[in-house]
Amino acid sequence: MSRAVQTQVACTEDMKKAAGYRAVDDHIHSGMVVGLGTGSTAYYAVERLGQKIKNGELVDIVAIPTSTKTENQARSWNIPLGTLDTHPSPDVAIDGADEVDSHLNLIKGRGGALLREKMVAIEAEKFVIIVVESKLVQGLGVTGALPVEITPFCWKRTMRCLLDVEAFQGCQVSATLRQEQDRIYVTDNHNYIVDLFFKEPIPELVSAARQLIDIVGVVEHGLFLHMADVCLVSGKEGIRLIE
């Protein structure tokens, strides 16, 4: 890796850490039930929460992790854990995102945890997003895939249905079954993920979201519309809020 690239990576890592730490400092108080997101930015929120519980700054916290990976990280910090079944109404959920538009609509799930992330976020009193500024976009779907979690049963048929979604007609869309190390990627829920790629921003977001979830075989999709309450955007100049 060249020195310039190394510096860029280090800088991005610092920005993620700043966002994760700030979200915990500003939004988590003793006694809260907290949804913990998944990904390299949410990682720092979990780290900060773990530190603050360890040093006694935060007490009586219960955390609900959104993936096995986050659960393992939380366990390594001895963060007390619950589920939506034991704690149905989290006070706050903190999570990263793949893309954020100016209305705080999101694409999530490139890390594969979209189902649990959406379940926790939807029940949380407040949904706090933490991103580096490169995640801000004019229209969703421009920097990468829209992930869709589907059942393994007859996945090719479900993938065909995804391409037939009415809201996508007239725009160029392609679908790929997600692979990892030459194997089909399997989610924590034992499902598959189809990544949808668009040549231009995804049209008709609300209709697209409804039509995707209406497909039998689709478990959940990565469009998180009108869910986020606040977004902490981390850049070289510091953190700014979008509400």
Using rule CB under 6 A, residue 151 touches ligand 5RP: no
Q: Among 90, 96, 141, 217, which residue interacts with ligand 5RP (rule: CB under 6 A)?
A: 96
Based on C-alpha coordinates, what's the Rg of the chain?
18
Sign of the Cα torsion 90, 105, 110, 128 reads: negative
**243 tagged catalytic:** no
Distance CA 134, CA 9 (A): 13
Q: Among 12, 40, 51, 151, which residue interacts with ligand 5RP (rule: CB under 6 A)?
A: 40
Using rule CB under 6 A, residue 109 touches ligand 5RP: yes
Using rule CB under 6 A, residue 129 touches ligand 5RP: no
Using rule CB under 6 A, residue 113 touches ligand 5RP: yes
Name the residue nearer to ligand 5RP (CB basis): 37 or 90: 37
> Residue 174 is which amino acid?
S
- Residues 140 and 105 sit within 8 Å (Cβ to Cβ): yes
Distance of alpha carbon 182 from its chain centroid, rounded?
Answer: 24
Using rule CB under 6 A, residue 97 touches ligand 5RP: yes
* DSSP percent split of the chain into helix, strand, coil, nearest 5: 35, 25, 40
Using rule CB under 6 A, residue 69 touches ligand 5RP: no
List, in sequence order, every residue forming a beta bridge with 99; answer none if it has no partner.
107
Pick the piece of the chain touching ligand 5RP (CB under 6 A) from 37-45, 78-86, 213-221, 226-234: 37-45
Catalytic residues: 117
Residues that bind ligand 5RP (CB under 6 A): 37-42, 95-98, 108-114, 117
